[in-house]
Amino acid sequence: MTRTLLSLVLKTLQKITCLGLLLWPLPAFSLVVDGLYNAAIQVEDQSPEQMLRAKKMGLAQVLVKVTGQTQNLTHPKVRAALRNPDAYLQRFSFGTELLTNGQPQAVIELSFDSLQVNQLIRESGHSIWGKDRAAVLVWLVEDTQGIRQIVNDNRHPMVAQIMSQANLRGMPLLWPLLDLEDQLSINAGDLWGVFRDTITRASNRYQADAVLVGLMFQDSQKLWRVDWNFWLDDAEQKWSSQGADIAVLVEPLQDRLAASLVEKFALDTGAESLNKEARKSAILRIDQVTQVGDYVEIQTMLQTIAGIQKVQLHSARGTTLEFRLFAQSNLAQVKSVIDLKRRLQAVESTDIVALDQSLDSKSNLVWHYQWN
């Protein structure tokens, strides 16, 4: 794909508003991101030239969302695929959307074949970032001539840019409500000092999987600088960005952020990862399963995880069920995705073996959870 087309794709992606991905928290927040293989592209008319351009841009959008990385568009196999988007297209239709000025705009709505797209991603050596995605809580503080303020207004240029860049990759972001509860638990000084214990306590109410703290200010040369702190599990990353344009500050942030999330949660199903160790199965033990409907929900939930090839009920005893999971990617990656499921609470335990010992269970990896 040419640089011109890549530039158009990125600009178009940045204009997308994905309300389901960029949220002020609500109860029972869902981490399932739908529409990863769909795109809506503005067109001037229905000419063959406009159609081809829209299909190329739509496929590029989908590839960025499913891999999390814009630079993957430059891979030779991907560039070849973008020259022939019809090979991956499942269906399309024409429609209209309203612009910010209230005027209607013609669009083509595209749906791409997930199996074909995933195969392309595997062949190009990239990982597949499934629809189960970690939510990142963003705390942003701006220092203006010594006055520090927590920012969460989507009209603020930095917030708008962060949201726009996150939309590129289908990345769920949470923003603090800054209500009375937040005001009583944390202030701008706590964030500016990066007092992790205080920030963690204030963040717990949002049940985010990761926390991003940004400290924004202008230096003596009137250049914007943002110092970032990113916490995912026990790991901590720090980096800074600087420039005259706020947009320039955000793109490297999202590159780093997406890379961290993709490394942990995206499913590597390439040949190199599918070694003997990665292909073995695991036992998933779930306690407190009391209803038939719970069993159906669990079975469906597991079958929709991209890295799981097959799910079998291994044993049942009382309110405890065990499922054997056959992975088509690394088991550690599969477990990271399972950990994102809100209704599964990990149980700290050691020396766990499966209930059914008839299948040499002691040699099996057993993951232990409780159903909520």
State the number of CA atoms in the 13 A half-sphere of 252 facing the CB. 14
Pairing of strands 224-232, 235-243: antiparallel
DSSP state of 204: G
Report CA-CA distances (Å) from 204 to 25, 68, 181, 183, 209. 12, 26, 12, 14, 10
DSSP state of 39: E
Q: Which of 194, 170, 181, 177 is nearest to 32 (CA)?
A: 170
DSSP state of 71: G
Q: Which of 169, 164, 133, 161 is nearest to 60 (CA)?
A: 169
Pairing of strands 282-287, 224-232: unpaired
Token pair of 265, please? 């949660």
Q: Kindly write down the DSSP assignment for every residue of 112-162, as one continuous string.
A: E-HHHHHHHHHHTT--B--SB---EEEEEEEEETTEEEEE--TTSHHHHHH
Token pair of 138, please? 């963003």
d(Cα 163, Cα 136) in Å, to the nearest integer?
12
Question: In the prediction, which pLDDT does 279 show?
Answer: 52
Pairing of strands 38-42, 136-144: unpaired
| 138 Cβ contact partners less than 8 Å away, ≥ 6 residues apart | 162, 173, 174, 175, 176, 212, 214
Question: In the prediction, which pLDDT does 220 show?
Answer: 86
Q: Which of 26, 20, 24, 25 is nearest to 38 (CA)?
A: 20
What sign does the CA torsion over 53, 56, 62, 64 have?
negative
Token pair of 64, please? 């960025």
Rg of the chain (C-alpha set): 22
d(Cα 140, Cα 219) in Å, to the nearest integer?
17
pLDDT digit of tens for each residue in the chain (372 aa)? 445 554 555 455 445 434 345 555 543 344 789 899 999 999 999 999 999 999 999 999 999 999 998 889 999 999 999 999 999 999 999 999 888 788 899 999 999 999 999 999 999 999 999 998 999 999 999 999 999 999 999 899 999 999 988 988 899 999 999 999 999 999 999 999 999 999 999 999 999 999 999 999 998 888 999 999 999 988 999 999 999 888 888 888 888 999 999 988 888 765 455 454 445 789 999 999 999 999 999 999 999 887 888 999 999 999 999 999 998 878 888 998 999 888 999 997 544 455 444 444 444 689 999 999
d(Cα 69, Cα 21) in Å, to the nearest integer?
17
DSSP state of 358: G
Q: Can you give the pTM of this predicted structure? A: 0.79
d(Cα 154, Cα 217) in Å, to the nearest integer?
18
DSSP state of 244: S
Report CA-CA distances (Å) from 278 to 223, 243, 281, 350. 47, 43, 8, 22
Q: How many CB atoms lie within 10 A of CB 323?
A: 22
DSSP state of 346: E
Q: Kindly write down the DSSP assignment for every residue of 281-341, as one continuous string.
A: -EEEEEE---SHHHHHHHHHHHHTSTTEEEEEEEEEETTEEEEEEEESS-HHHHHHHHTT-
